[in-house]
């Protein structure tokens, strides 16, 4: 991929409008000979494919299964191996905690420790989510601040929570304060760079004070923290591409990733219909729209093949509404594959179609994994999608004389 | 792409002959369903394609439109993002000025400055080319040398000229001495690295002395200089690939680029027929020939679709003459696309065919953009073409044991 410096030097603004429709977990694997896409009735996407240029993208590199962070960064035109979004940051984004540069985020568990300092249950007997909420309030009220660092604790499901340390001088190069297995002694977080010694002190002091506050609890009498991370120092899409980008996503994690790259996050409502309505309502305000569709991935993760088929078919119904807005460049793709047979993200490349005035159409007239193999885009890195969209929107100047 | 060190370590000389036919701006976009290539009658290229392996190349990276400098460097096997050819160097090459390492080149305009130092016409009323010649002679005679730096001035068309500073200690990290807009004060060149302070002094002294010499001129009473650049320190093709390369090009810019990478530049005449005659006449002297065809790009830039079709058809007539020379490896491709509908270079990948004894032929029997999508080479970076030619000429040893 080209360098960020080069991108900044050739990108220019233009009035052209771009829409990137990301169908989460779109690609699949055959069951009885057909993938979820191949099984689906998607006349609108098929028709659009016949007027588009199609292909396949690799989010990271062939064979590498991406998480949602790297797969989205690649689609947004960032090197997914240069910028890493840590687990703490992703979880915090996932439950809607807004992060600023320098904030230190981590995932937490309530856990059970015995009198000898041995962690005997890393999940504190899977306490209820209600109990979790009460304990997070207890800790939040008891430990608001330490040495100028503000603490925010947000409950997740059962024994899980997210913690945010907000203050000057924090760094995320810390080992997990989590022995990872029951029956082992608790471990402190340890700085793995000189800059992280202050973080180390704050984190371990927090664990100590929290354990003190939880002393009288039956099972949840300590906390484990892991996945310490800060948001990467990442140039905004506006800085790199000179665009005004907006995100339309229902789930907090995708809003969080979009916010990290400088998108305005619009109120997307609750359904695909709401999302497309949001797109139409704001179409004059921005020149790049990221629209995220979650359901196909969820059904894929559940191993629900017919459910994923129906979820893909549901997206198809909204394609005419998007085309009615007359975007200059329209891309439909996935962030990664989630084959129902694997019940998880996979390494398989993503089908992609790109629709614009300035394409060489190809012979593909069916939007699925195997039809896209013969598409005119060939098999390209996912990081090429953003430059191709910009080029088709005439937003990239010539490189070199 | 592989490193230059690795290339040097595996390349060996062999008697095999290679011809790279570069049809400038070859690729296009459909008008009424067909691209310029698809519309053209090119039976010889089609027949050759059916005996070759075909594909598509990206000059820089998908979505990035290249200038002629980077697109040719990529075809010649150089990383086009590592070596950059500045505007001054390219213009100097373009009018046939020979450059040595360390020479500082810039583009110049004769311009009109008022008594308050405001540039009121950046083009001096577009003086005639004859007037331009006379003024360049005036400046050349008046300012031959400054502090050991020799000055060469060559007229271009109308108000344009090229200037070359030749001497020790020059560097090109200078801002333009050009306000870029009428109605603004003249600006000096400013060094943007410590090493360029001597260049800064020389350039600004030249502008001052030139303005003194032009004092009595009605409109062309000062000069603006921009695009300061030096030829990149680039290893020769002989050094990298152990070949004896020759260039056959009619236009000076392409001769200039070929000279930069160490090719012998042959006298190519005025027509494609002359070029192919030159190829035949020197075929025994070299083992690599770069043959450049300009017309399809010119018609593309003019938005002349039928003209570009005819220009491609004209090339086709000479294919048998090239084949009669029995090159061991023969590549036909473009340096970049120039679709008539865009009237400029574009980002679309280039069709390529590679003919040799040692290929796996594919099903492609028509030489155009969409047929090449299904070619055996797939979609590859343009920097891969040179290694593939060398491999097919058995000029690359095995890497590793």
Region of B311 please: left (phi>0), alpha (psi -120 to 50) or beta. Answer: alpha
Q: Do A388 and B63 touch (CB under 8 A)?
A: yes
Chain A residues touching B56 at Cβ < 8 A: 378
Is residue A91 scored above 90 in pLDDT?
A: no
- Residues B325 and B337: their CA atoms lie apart, in Å, by 28
A97 has a pLDDT exceeding 90: no
Distance between CA A338 and CA A328 in Å, rounded? Answer: 29
pLDDT for the residue numbered B91? 84
Distance in angstroms (rounded) separating the CA atoms of residues A123 and A111 = 5
Give yes or no for residue B162 having a pLDDT over 90: yes
Q: What is the pLDDT of residue B143?
A: 96
List the one residue out of A398, A379, A399 whose CA is nearest residue A27: A379
Mean pLDDT of A144-168: 94
CA–CA distance, A288 with A18 (Å, rounded to integer): 5
Write out the H or E segment, with its range, that includes residue A275.
Answer: helix A272-282
User: Strands A118-121 and A104-113, how do they pair?
Assistant: antiparallel
CB B81 to CB A2 under 8 A? yes
pLDDT of B253 reads 86
- The three-point CA angle B303-B306-B311 to 5° equals 95
Query: How far is Cα A116 from Cα A93, in angstroms, rounded to an integer?
Result: 36
Query: Which stretches of A27-148 are assigned E, i.e. beta strand?
Result: 53-58, 104-113, 118-121, 145-146
Angle of helix A197-213 relative to helix A129-142, nearest 10 degrees, comes to 120
A401 pLDDT band, cuts 50/70/90, is: confident
- Tell me what the mean pLDDT of segment B154-159 comes to: 91
Provide the mean pLDDT of chain A: 96
**pLDDT for residue B3:** 96
Q: Tell me how crowded residue A322 is: count the other CB atoms within 10 A of its CB.
A: 21
- Could B86 and A387 be called an inter-chain contact, meaning their C-beta atoms sit closer than 8 Å? no
B230/A contact by beta carbon, under 8 A: no
In chain B, what residues touch A379 (CB-CB under 8 Å)? 378-379
pLDDT band at A173 (very low <50, low <70, confident <90, very high): very high
Distance CA A156, CA A132 (A): 8
Nearest residue of chain B to residue A359 (CA atoms) = B29
Name the residue with tokens 């005036």: B138
A399 neighbourhood in chain B, CB within 8 Å: 60, 64-67, 70, 80
> Are the C-beta atoms of residues B20 and B385 closer than 8 Å to each other?
yes
Residues A340, A32: Cα–Cα separation, whole Å: 12
Structure token pair of residue A139:
């800790």
HSE, side-chain direction, 13 A CA sphere, residue A29: 14
| Segment B365-394 mean pLDDT | 98
**Is the pLDDT reported for residue B29 higher than 90?**
yes
**How sure is the predictor about B237, in pLDDT bands with cuts at 50, 70 and 90?**
very high
**How confident is the model at residue A135, as a pLDDT?**
97
Closest CA to A100 of A233, A225, A9: A233
Cα angle, residue B142 at apex, residues B136 and B143 outer, rounded to 5°: 90
The span from the CA of B240 to the CA of A4, in Å, is 29
Confidence of residue B252 (pLDDT cuts 50, 70, 90): confident
Q: What is the pLDDT of residue B156?
A: 87
First-to-last alpha carbon distance for chain A, in angstroms, is 20
> What is d(CA A75, CA A336) in angstroms, rounded to the nearest whole number?
10
Count how many residues are written for chain A: 401
* Other beta carbons within 10 Å of A109: 21
Q: Indicate which of A5, A243, A372, A400 best probes the interface with B, i.e. most B CBs within 10 Å of its own CB.
A: A400
pLDDT digits (tens, 9 = 90+) for A330-379: 999 999 999 999 999 999 999 999 999 999 999 999 999 999 999 999 99
Mean of per-residue pLDDT scores for chain B? 96
Three-state secondary structure call for residue B260: helix
- Mean pLDDT in residue range A250-279: 94
| pLDDT above 80 (res B94) | no
Q: Does residue B96 register a pLDDT over 90?
A: no
Q: Do A2 and B61 touch (CB under 8 A)?
A: yes
CB A187 within 8 A of CB A178: yes
Which residue in the set A1, A378, A400 is minimally distant from B66, CB to CB? A400
Name B47's Cβ contacts closer than 8 Å, sequence gap at least 6. Answer: none
pLDDT of residue A94: 76
B294, B272 Cβ separation under 8 angstroms: no
Q: Does residue A75 register a pLDDT over 80?
A: yes
* pLDDT of B134 higher than 80: yes
B374 contacts A377? CB cut-off 8 A = no
Please report where in the chains the tokens 């490193």 appear, as a residue: B3
Q: Which residue of A has its CA nearest to B65?
A: A398
Instruction: Give residue A253's pLDDT band: very low, low, confident or very high (50, 70, 90).
Output: confident
Residue (of A46, A59, A185) closest to A113 by Cα position: A185
For B326-364, how does the pLDDT look when each residue is reduced to its tens digit (9 = 90+)? 999 999 999 999 999 999 999 999 999 999 999 999 999
Whether the Cβ atoms of residue B340 and residue B299 lie closer than 8 Å to each other = yes
CB atoms within 10 A of CB B327: 23
The set of residues, in sequence order, having a beta carbon less than 8 Å from that of B214 and lying 6+ positions away, is B110, B135, B138, B139, B220, B221, B222, B223
State percent of chain B over pLDDT 70. Answer: 100
A–B interface: beta-carbon pairs under 8 A: 94
Chain A neighbours among B 67-106 (CB < 8 Å)?
67-71, 80-81, 84-87, 90-91
**A119 and A111 Cβ atoms separated by less than 8 Å:** yes
What residues in B contact A361, CB-CB < 8 Å?
30
CA distance A74 to chain B (A): 14
B53-58/B350-356 β-pairing? antiparallel
Q: What is the pLDDT of residues A106-120, one digit of tens each?
A: 999 999 999 999 999
Q: Which one has a higher pLDDT value, B394 or A233?
A: B394
- Residue B93: the pLDDT is 81
Strand-pairing partners, residue A121, are: A112
Q: What angle do CA B370, B376, B378 make, to 5 degrees?
A: 65
- Residues of chain B contacting A58 with CB distance shorter than 8 Å: none
Asked if A36 contacts A57 with a C-beta cutoff of 8 angstroms, the reply is no
| Half-sphere exposure at residue B238, Cβ-oriented, CA atoms within 13 angstroms | 10
Facing B370 at nearest CB: one of A6, A10, A360:
A360
Q: What are phi and psi of A245, to 5 degrees?
A: -95, 145
Chain A contact set for B70 (CB, 8 A)? 399-400
Is the separation of the CB atoms in A318 and A48 below 8 Å?
A: no
Q: A392 to chain B: nearest residue by CA?
A: B63
d(Cα B374, Cα B379) in Å, to the nearest integer?
9
Residue of A nearest to B372 (CA): A376
């Amino acid at each position: 991929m080209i360098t960020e410096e080069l991108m900044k030097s050739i990108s220019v603004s233009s009035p052209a409008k771009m829409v990137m429709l990301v169908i989460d977990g779109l690609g699949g694997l055959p069951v009885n000979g057909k993938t979820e896409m191949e099984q689906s009735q998607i006349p609108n996407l098929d028709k659009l494919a016949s007027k588009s240029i199609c292909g396949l993208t690799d989010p990271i590199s062939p064979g590498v299964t991406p998480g949602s962070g790297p797969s989205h960064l690649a689609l947004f035109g960032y090197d997914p191996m240069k910028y890493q979004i840590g687990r703490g940051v992703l979880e915090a984004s996932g439950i809607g905690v807004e992060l600023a540069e320098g904030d230190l985020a981590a995932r937490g568990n309530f856990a059970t420790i015995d009198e000898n300092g041995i962690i005997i249950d890393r999940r504190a007997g899977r306490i209820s989510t209600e109990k979790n909420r009460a304990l997070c309030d207890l800790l939040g009220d008891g430990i608001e601040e330490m040495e100028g660092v503000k603490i925010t604790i947000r409950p997740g499901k059962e024994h899980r929570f997210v913690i945010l340390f907000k203050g000057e001088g924090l760094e995320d190069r810390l080992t997990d304060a989590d022995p990872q297995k029951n029956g082992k002694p608790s471990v402190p977080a340890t700085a793995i760079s000189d800059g992280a010694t202050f973080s180390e002190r704050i984190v371990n002091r927090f664990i100590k004070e929290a354990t003190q506050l939880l002393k009288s609890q039956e099972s949840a009498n300590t906390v484990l923290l892991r996945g310490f991370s800060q948001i990467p120092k990442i140039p905004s899409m506006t800085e790199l591409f000179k665009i005004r980008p907006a995100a339309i996503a229902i789930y907090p994690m995708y809003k969080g990733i979009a916010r990290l790259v400088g998108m305005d996050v619009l109120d997307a409502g609750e359904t695909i219909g709401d999302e497309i309505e949001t797109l139409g309502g704001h179409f004059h305000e921005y020149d790049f729209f990221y629209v995220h569709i979650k359901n196909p991935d969820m059904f894929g993760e559940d191993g629900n093949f017919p459910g994923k088929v129906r979820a893909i078919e549901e997206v198809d119904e909204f394609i005419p509404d998007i085309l009615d807005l007359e975007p200059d460049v329209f891309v439909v793709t996935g962030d990664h594959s989630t084959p129902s047979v694997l019940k998880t993200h996979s390494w398989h490349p993503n089908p992609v179609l790109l629709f614009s005035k300035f394409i060489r159409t190809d012979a593909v007239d069916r939007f699925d994994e195997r039809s896209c193999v013969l598409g005119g885009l060939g098999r390209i890195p996912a990081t090429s999608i953003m430059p191709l969209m910009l080029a088709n929107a005439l937003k990239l100047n010539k490189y070199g004389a």
